[in-house]
Chain A
């Protein structure tokens, strides 16, 4: 399997639930990202890991907790979410954070619905 794989594709959870999103990349990249995509809005960067170290946390509420055990895997742990957190959550990877023309490679995303 190649590219960036995200599971699950769809997730419905109540506000009191705890769940985790998983991302795996098979591209040998060193940087991994979590983005939130809401309808008709620009992609919102949530977290960045470069060589397994978290380098950015863009004022994301603590109900979202990232984990990067190695350069190939990235998790997003969710707890006590709010309905406004419903969105498409995209994982991406790149060779290194911020290197020139190195593009991001995205997974297909997890469509999250909070009820």
Chain B
């Protein structure tokens, strides 16, 4: 079967850096997405990786290693508003999106 694994919950301190990992086993690979979802709100698109390497977008960066079936989302200079769930999703060979259960990130002052 297809599977996405990410930690259930992480805690970090305001101003610090946190890395959220995502590992996947899917039938083929056509890209990996990260979404942010604040409680009671819509998931919003953060990043897309299809080639190996690091994609940087302001305070957020996303890394992909296709050979390892691994990605991470790196959040720098953490702010209280970064408290949210972060969802990892992989597009398989049939362009189906396979979702992880999400990582709840708690930021403490």
Contact = CB atoms under 8 A, between A and B. Distances in A.
Contacts of B35: 103
A22 interface: no
A72 B44 CA distance: 19
Nearest to A99: B95
Contacts of B12: none
Interface residues of B, number: 26
A101 B48 CA distance: 6
A29 interface: no
Given A40-B8, A42-B100, A90 B42 contact: yes
B101 A101 contact: no
B63 interface: no
Q: How large is the interface on A (under 10, 10 to 19, 20 to 34, 35 or more residues)?
A: 10 to 19
Contacts of A4: 42
Q: Binding site of A, secondary structure by majority: helix, strand, loop or mixed?
A: loop
B72 interface: no
Contacts of A109: 42
A3 to B, nearest CB: 8
A104 interface: yes
B54 interface: no
Contacts of A108: 40-42
A70 B50 CA distance: 31
Given A40-B8, A42-B4, A100 B42 contact: no
- Residue of B4, B31, B40, B97 most packed against chain A (CB within 10 A): B97
Contacts of A34: none
Q: Which 8 A-B pairs have the closest CB atoms?
A: A98-B95, A103-B45, A106-B42, A42-B99, A43-B99, A101-B48, A108-B42, A106-B43
Interface of A: 4, 40-43, 45, 90, 97-98, 100-101, 103-109, 111
